[in-house]
Amino acid sequence: MNIDSIQNGVVLDHIQAGKSMDIYKYLHLDQLDCSVAIIKNVRSGRMGKKDIIKIDSPMDVDVDVLGYIDDKITVNIIRDGVRTEKRRLQPPKKLVNIIRCKNPRCITVAEPQLDAIFLLSDPERHVYRCAYCDTAKGKKKGV
């Protein structure tokens, strides 16, 4: 199966197989007017299988969202058909309004207009804690 190379845009590579639709939703790619290719189950020497997303338009990718969902993803910036930048991700230290606290006793549940703030408390296990009530949220496994 062949997908044409893009001239100016972004390629998200090394997405865990089966997770590309989660990324599509989290990055709101459905709102783009350009071509977006979601390629699933591509053979990968390192990963066995992987997903790839190609976005045929320059855009600012929310690396905090991507770093939270899967910090193994690589972000390739393409200009004039050439990769000009390859970004590796880190789990962000702070998440604002990306996930919500599920603790029914937390003030952010009672007052949802408050910013939902999570802080990275355990980088190895990818554990985030609500800045308000300390409730833990593990690595995102799906939407």
Partner 1 sequence: MPRNIIDVTDLTVEEIDQLISTAEDILANPAKYQDACAHKQLATLFFEPSTRTRLSFESAMLALGGSVLGFSEASSSSTSKGETVGDTVHTVSCYADIIAMRHPKEGAPFAAAQFSEVPIINAGDGGHNHPTQTLTDLLTIHREKGRLDGFTIGFCGDLKFGRTVHSLVNALSRYENVKFVLISPAELKLPRYVKEEALKKRGISYKQTESLEAVMPDLDILYMTRVQRERFFNEEDYLRLKDSYILTPEKLETAKADLSILHPLPRVNEISVAVDKDPRAAYWKQVKNGKFIRMALILKLLDIHV
Binding site for partner 1 (CB under 8 A): 103, 105-108, 110-111, 113-115, 121-122, 129-136
Element (H, E) at 23: helix 20-26
Using alpha carbons, select from 88, 60, 92 the residue that is nearest to residue 73: 88
Nearer to partner 1, 18 or 138 (CB): 138
In whole angstroms, the minimum distance from the beta carbon of 98 to partner 1 comes to: 17
Q: Which is nearer to partner 1, 85 or 122 (CB)?
A: 122
Give min distance, CB of 117 to partner 1, in A: 9
Select 30 or 115, whichever has its Cβ closest to partner 1.
115
Q: Which is nearer to partner 1, 57 or 121 (CB)?
A: 121
Task: Measure the N-to-C terminal CA separation of the chain; round to a whole number of Å.
Answer: 28
CA dist 82 and 73 (Å) reads: 19
Locate tokens 């199966």: which residue? 1
Q: Minimum CB separation from partner 1 for residue 133, in Å?
A: 4
Candidates 83, 101, 108; CA nearest to 7 is 83
